[in-house]
A and B are shown apart, each in its own frame.
Chain A
C-alpha cells in the first residue's frame, strides 16, 4: 500500500492557525479555545491531551462545524487540503463532514440510533454522501466495513439493533461508520475511555491497523497518557484552552518542557514501576474558565511560578524539532544562554 501513496498524500492535511472559540453564556464569555495552532500530515496521528474543560473537544467540534450554540469560532483559520473550512457554506460543510472528515465519539450508545438496525445506519451514512450508489452496493460496502473492523457474522449483525451489541462492538460499529466514506481525517474523541482495558487494547490495535491501510490523519483526543504513548506520533498538551506544549511523542514523554506536562507524567502511577513510589500530584484545582487567571493559566498550580507568570502569557519557545512549550522558565533559560554567548563573544 505504501508505494501507492501519491505526492499529495504525503503533504499537509490540516492546518489550524490561532483558532479561538468562545461560549457566550449569561454569566459571561468563556474562552474555551484561545489561540491554538497546529498542523497534521497524512498518515500522522496527533494526540490532544488535557483534562475535562480544557477545550480539547470544542476545538475538534469546530473543525467539523459542530459547535453548539452559544459556542462560536471568533478567530483564526482552519485549512483542510488548502481549503478554508470556516468559509464553507451549509451545503459544502455537509459534504465535507462525513466524506472527508469523520468523528467517533466517547459513548457509542448515545451516538447510534436505538430504533434503527446497525446495517440501516451504515447504509444511510453511505447514501447520504453518495447519491448514486444503489442499496445493494451500499449494503455490500457496509458489510465489508464491518468485517474490516473485526465483526464476525456480518449478515446477521447488519440486521441487529445497537442494544444487541456489547460496548466494544458498538465502538467498532462507530469506527466502521466513521470510515465508510473513506475520510482523509478521523477525529476520535476519547474513543476508548468508556471501554475496559482489554477492549481498549483491541480498539487501539484496530485503529493502528486501519490507519496503516488508509493513510488517513487521526486526531486522537484523550486524557490517558498511556494511550497517547501507544498510538500517537505527536502530541499537543492543552490546558485551559491553550496548547501549553506540543511536539513529537518521544520529546513530550522524555524531554517535557512545560511544568504541566511534567506534572501529568509524574502524577501517573505506572504498572511497570519497579518499587513503590509516592505519587506527586499537581496541587490545586482546574481553572474556572469563567474567570481565568491573568498570565499563564497554569501559574496558580505551578510549583515554579514566578512573578511574570501571573502577569503575562509566555510565548512559545522552540525546544527541538517541532517541539515547543509556552513557559517563562524556558524563556528565561533561553535568555541566560544568550547572555552567556554574548559574554563569551564580548570577552
Chain B
C-alpha cells in the first residue's frame, strides 16, 4: 500500500539532447517536469511515442545525464543542476555558463533504483546464461559471501518470477517473450531494489501473456513493498496498475491525478483526447461513444511550439496559449494540470 512518505521527487527536470550541426538546445526531450512518487505507490506515465516518457524514466535513473533540475531520492539530493538555457527577449533559447551540476555517486543508488526494459530479447545478453545474467547484478554489488549463497539467491529469484530453477543454465533465446521478460524482472529484483522504472514492460508481449506479467508485477509490489514508475502507451493497462497517472505531451507533463479521477474527470484537452481514442473492448460502448479525433501529428521536439506545446492541435486553443507556457499547478486537491483554460 502507498504510504505518505515521498520516496522520489523530481523538480523542474530538463533533458536536452544536443544535435550535431544545429545551434541551440537540440532535441528538447524532457521539459520542466516536476513530480513526486510516494513510497509503495505506482505512478503511471502515458503519452504518445516520442513524448519523452522513456527519456524521463531514464533521466531519473541518471542513465542519461539531466540537463538541469533536481532529483531527490529518499530525502537526499542525487542531482542538482542549474539551467544553462534562458529565454531572451524574443523567446529564443540562449546558452549561458552555469556552475557544474552536482551529482551523487550513483553506485549505491543503483542498488535501490532498477529498471525493466521494453524489449526483453534486446535487453538480455544472448551469450550469457540466465544464471549469469541475474548473477552479474549480485557480483557488481557484492551481495553474497559464498558461491552457494549466490546460486541459492539466483534460484530463489527464478522461482519468484515463476521460472524453474534449472532454467538458470539456459540462454535467453531458449525462452519465449513472456519468459524473457520474467528474466528481466528477476535481474531487476536481484539487488533488492526499492524503486523500479518499468519501461513498457508488457508492450512486446502477447495479449494472453500481458496479464500474467501485470499480475506478477502487482504481487511483487505487495510482497516486497516496491515503488514503481510504470511507463506505457496503453492507457487501459496503466490505469489498471497505477495509483496515480501522469500524462505527457511533447516533453512536458500536462496532467497528473489519481488514476480513477483522471479517467472520470480529465481536465486537460490532451488527456480527454487520449482517453477518447483508447478502443474499448465492448461493441455497444464503442458505437455510442463520442470520439475527439485530433488533427495532424505530434510536432518535432527539436522545434516545439511556443507557449503551451499542445496549442497547435488543441481544439480549444486561444491566443494566450501560443504566447505563454501554462503553469503546472494543483487545480483540485491532488489533481495537477497545465492549461490556460483552467485558470479562468
Contact = CB atoms under 8 A, between A and B. Distances in A.
Interface of A: 51-52, 166-169, 196-202, 204-205, 223-230, 249-250, 253, 263-265, 267-273, 275-276, 278-283, 285-286
27 contacts: A52-B206, A197-B235, A197-B274, A197-B277, A198-B273, A198-B294, A199-B297, A200-B279, A205-B293, A223-B206, A224-B207, A225-B207, A226-B279, A226-B286, A229-B281, A253-B281, A267-B207, A268-B236, A269-B239, A271-B278, A272-B280, A272-B282, A272-B285, A273-B239, A279-B214, A279-B240, A282-B211
A271 B275 contact: yes
B208 interface: yes
Contacts of A283: 212
Contact of A268 (B48, B207, B263, B297): B207
Label chain B's interface by main secondary structure: helix
Contact of A51 (B208, B211, B233, B286): B208
A267 B236 CA distance: 12
B6 interface: no
B291 interface: yes
Given A279-B214, A279-B215, A286-B208, A229 B279 contact: yes
Contacts of A279: 211, 214-215, 240
Among all A-B residue pairs, the 6 with the closest Cβ atoms: A226-B279, A269-B240, A281-B211, A201-B277, A267-B211, A225-B281
B210 interface: yes
Contact of B283 (A197, A204, A249): A249
A169 B285 CA distance: 28
B209 interface: yes
A106 to B, nearest CB: 14
Contacts of B237: 269
Interface in B275-333: 275-286, 291, 293-294, 297-298
A281 B293 contact: no
Interface residues on B, range: 35 or more
Contact of A229 (B218, B280, B291): B280
A268 B293 CA distance: 24
Q: Which of B211, B212, B234, B291 has the most CB of A within 10 A?
A: B211
A156 B322 CA distance: 27
Nearest to A301: B208
Contacts of B263: 271-272
Nearest to B285: A272
A240 to B, nearest CB: 12
Nearest to A267: B211
A269 B209 CA distance: 13
Contacts of A197: 48, 233-235, 274, 277-279
A249 to B, nearest CB: 5
Given A226-B280, A285-B179, A286-B206, 13 more contacts: A51-B208, A166-B298, A169-B297, A196-B233, A198-B273, A198-B294, A201-B277, A230-B279, A271-B239, A279-B240, A282-B211, A285-B176, A285-B178
B49 interface: yes
A4 to B, nearest CB: 25
B48 A198 contact: yes
Contacts of B279: 197, 200-201, 204, 224, 226-227, 229-230
B281 A286 contact: no
A265 B294 contact: no
A226 B280 CA distance: 5
Contacts of B236: 226, 268-271
Contact of A196 (B48, B206, B239, B281): B48
B283 to A, nearest CB: 5
Nearest to B278: A271
A273 B211 contact: no
A281 B280 CA distance: 18
Contacts of A270: 236, 280-282
A166 B297 contact: yes
Contacts of B210: 267, 281
